[in-house]
A = this chain, B = another copy of it.
Amino acid sequence: MITVSTSDRERTYHHGDLRAALVAAALDLLEAGGEAALSLRAVARACGVSAMAPYRHFAGKEDLLEAVAARGFADLAARLEAADAAAEGGEALAAQGAAYVTFACRHPALFRLMFMRPCRGPVGSEAYRILERRAAALAGPAMGAEDLTLAAWSLVHGLAALILDRRVPLEGEAAEALARRITLAFAARLTAAG
């Protein structure tokens, strides 16, 4: 006998871990169709749940988006940390810069979601602290630690944003190479380690 399969998943009224599933689904939609494809209802649909269900876990759409962004920041921080650990001195700063731009190129919609909204709450993110630590170690007479951190961050953040908006006609590896080159020149001339 042919059984109609509702069997992909035993459907329970209560979803196992809806909150996490919603964030994951939102990330998928973001990667697949950009920010335009990310509607609260579509996320709920992707989780096989009603349009109002997300409200049991998030105050609203913005709240969900913030959770998605938080995941993005965690991922970014991990990549910066890894890049930084693989080199030393100015090279490490350049590696962080390249990793930053690479992340943006690989997850353009997520990157936009993370940054292109006014953030509330304390600004100090893990990613910032990783950069700050490296920059502080490199600070010299040319620039203080804080200015150096901000300048380095601005440099790679701006480059990433311009590439994402196609205002700099570069893609993938060429973008990463440019980021490394610029950051390295920056580090060489503006830090004590140069």
Contact = CB atoms under 8 A, between A and B. Distances in A.
A128 B168 CA distance: 11
Q: Which applies to chain A's interface (DSSP): helix, strand, loop or mixed?
A: helix
Interface stretch (A19-27, A84-92, A117-125): A117-125
B119 A112 contact: no
Which 3 A-B residue pairings sit nearest by Cβ, starting from the closest? A158-B158, A154-B158, A157-B158
Interface string A70-96: 000000000000000000000000000
A129 B87 CA distance: 36
A153 B164 contact: no
Given A123-B168, A153-B158, 16 more contacts: A115-B165, A115-B167, A143-B182, A150-B168, A151-B186, A154-B155, A154-B156, A154-B157, A154-B162, A154-B182, A155-B158, A156-B158, A157-B161, A185-B190, A186-B190, A189-B190
Interface of A: 112, 115-120, 123, 125, 128, 142-143, 147, 150-151, 153-162, 164-169, 178, 181-182, 185-186, 189-190
B123 A116 contact: no
Contacts of A120: 166
B116 A116 contact: yes
Nearest to A116: B116
Contacts of A151: 155, 159, 182, 185-186
Contacts of A156: 154, 158
A123 B154 contact: no
Contacts of A189: 142, 189-190
A125 B162 CA distance: 13
Name which of A112, A119, A157, A185 has the most chain B CB atoms within 10 A of its CB.
A157
